[in-house]
Amino acid sequence: MQEQDQVPRITVERQVEWLRVQENANAALSQSLEDRLSTLPPIEARRLRPKLEAELNAIRDRMWEMAKPNLRVNGFNYEEYVETTEPFDEALDRTLWSLNSERVNWVGKVNNKRRTIPDQTAGVLEDMEVRRDGLTWAPSKEQEAELKQALEDAQKEVRTEDYPPPPRYGEVVDTFHKVIENLSELVETAPKQLERAERVHQVRDEISRLPV
């Protein structure tokens, strides 16, 4: 025991700093496990996950238990610091460790899904695009040529004399001719009417300037 006390301990000012170190290390270990499982086939990964997680939790527990004799918190040996600050509740401690391990595991799973889900979604969308293109009908060159030839033949067969004139067709034609004649007459008489109006306006101005 005396030889163990002579070994320099790692000193931290507050327990929260040591807990943060534990949290970061646990997260790194869980992430390493997730990375390893992601390289395996999905069925194999699901089969091995419970066993590997249990082994990893046991390794972490032993690792942190072995670290306690090498740690000093706020001037106290770590095991003495815990005893002097609050009574130890083993059940609560195990519950907290279990919850923390579960949280770290979920963080690793979420991070893994963030890496894999986008690629899987992109693959599904690409497959849907391929299937949609396969279901979309597009005419072949032969079909396009046949459709074009049929359209040209139909246009050649259409003749004006094949369709009867609409109702009151003759009356509409006569009215159109009369409108054209009236417009032609207006074009001829408009300059004369304009010249006459200008003369009347000029005479009116001259009369208005005569002395009374």
Backbone phi and psi for residue 153, each to the nearest 5 degrees, phi listed first: -65, -40
> Which one-letter amino acid corresponds to residue 63?
M
Q: Measured between alpha carbons, how far is residue 86 from residues 22, 80, 81, 89 in Å?
A: 20, 10, 9, 9
Contacts of 148 (CB under 8 A, 6+ apart): none
Tell me which of 28 and 2 has the higher pLDDT. Answer: 28
Range from 37-46, 88-97, 172-181 carrying the lowest mean pLDDT: 88-97
Q: Using one digit for the tens of pLDDT, what is the confidence trace for 157-198?
A: 656 666 667 777 778 778 878 888 877 777 778 778 788 878
Tell me which of 168 and 61 has the higher pLDDT. Answer: 61
Range from 81-85, 191-195, 203-207 carrying the lowest mean pLDDT: 81-85
The confidence score (pLDDT) of residue 64 equals 87
Number of Cβ within a 10 Å radius of residue 71: 19
The confidence score (pLDDT) of residue 182 equals 78
The confidence score (pLDDT) of residue 211 equals 67
CA 101, chain centre distance (Å): 33
| Cα–Cα dist 31/22, whole Å | 14
| Cα–Cα dist 64/68, whole Å | 7
Q: Which residues pair with 12 in a beta bridge?
A: 73
Quick one: CA dihedral 198, 202, 208, 212, positive or negative?
negative
Average pLDDT over residues 93-114: 80
**Model pTM score:** 0.37
Quick check: helix, strand or coil at residue 147? Answer: helix
Quick check: helix, strand or coil at residue 210? Answer: coil
